Amino acid sequence: MATTQSINFEYKINLIIKVCIFFLSIHTIFVTSGIAFEFTKITKIEIKKITVGEHIEFKASYANFDLQLMGVHEEDNPKLFDGPLVIKKKGGNSLTEIDLSLIYALYGLENSNCIVVHTVSGSESYFDIVDLSKGRQIHETIDAYSDKIDMEKYFLRIWPYCEETTVGEGDSCTAGRIYFFDKSNNYKPTLLESESREFNKEIIGIEFEGTKNIIEPKTKNARIGL
């Protein structure tokens, strides 16, 4: 008779295989209910450390714009910036400030003037779409409570996250979500609902949305508790 340990090991191996197949199966054009969505390729923008006289500045560029991240959060560990994000069109003189704080990373949306700004606060991450040509944020902010987030190729993947709880049965688990940026709709972040449900099933062992108490998460016996 197989032990619980061997069953869980087998489940994890199968999980890794399924997740790989799952992401390989998503194509650049997704069709649902007869409507075609055009995915947009995502590229991480390099932030460069530049010495100007006695000062150190952190700058980047995307499309036809120069970007500067103000307010290093920790001088010895410049991975977060207190903001704002300053935008200047190449060859121009006017500056636009975007009031975002604790900026962690910038991502460009291919063949557009739009970028995704990743900010953090405690255990939460936030993603804002900024149109550089308009100098403002567009669309609603995406919030994420997870210890693993991927922003690559065509997708923003927020992995499901579980933590122990003293209330009810099982662990408190927050569902994962998969978004793409719809080029045909002004790069609006769009949730892939069925793919997100399947993603949660592959990782946690059961389909669910929002935050739920899950008994035996990440096993084949996963189920929703009270």
Say whether both 91 and 66 belong to one domain. yes
Rounded Cα gap, residues 226 and 212, in angstroms:
9
Say whether both 141 and 152 belong to one domain. no
Say whether both 44 and 136 belong to one domain. yes
Closest CA to 130 of 177, 41, 62, 39: 62
Say whether both 77 and 4 belong to one domain. no
Say whether both 31 and 44 belong to one domain. no
Say whether both 11 and 45 belong to one domain. no
Q: Domains in the chain: how many in total?
A: 2
Q: What is the CATH number of the domain that holds 80?
A: 2.40.128.650
Residue that is last in its domain, among 145, 170, 200: 145
Say whether both 216 and 139 belong to one domain. no
Distances in Å between the Cα of 88 and the Cα atoms of 46, 62, 71, 129, 166 are 17, 11, 17, 17, 50
Say whether both 67 and 138 belong to one domain. yes
pLDDT tens, the chain, 226 aa long? 445 455 455 555 555 555 555 555 444 444 444 445 678 999 999 999 998 888 889 999 999 999 999 998 877 667 899 999 999 999 888 899 999 999 999 999 999 999 999 999 988 999 999 999 999 999 999 999 999 999 988 999 999 999 987 766 789 999 999 999 999 999 999 999 999 999 999 999 999 999 999 999 999 999 998 7
Say whether both 161 and 74 belong to one domain. no
Say whether both 24 and 58 belong to one domain. no
- Domain extent for 6: 1-38+148-226
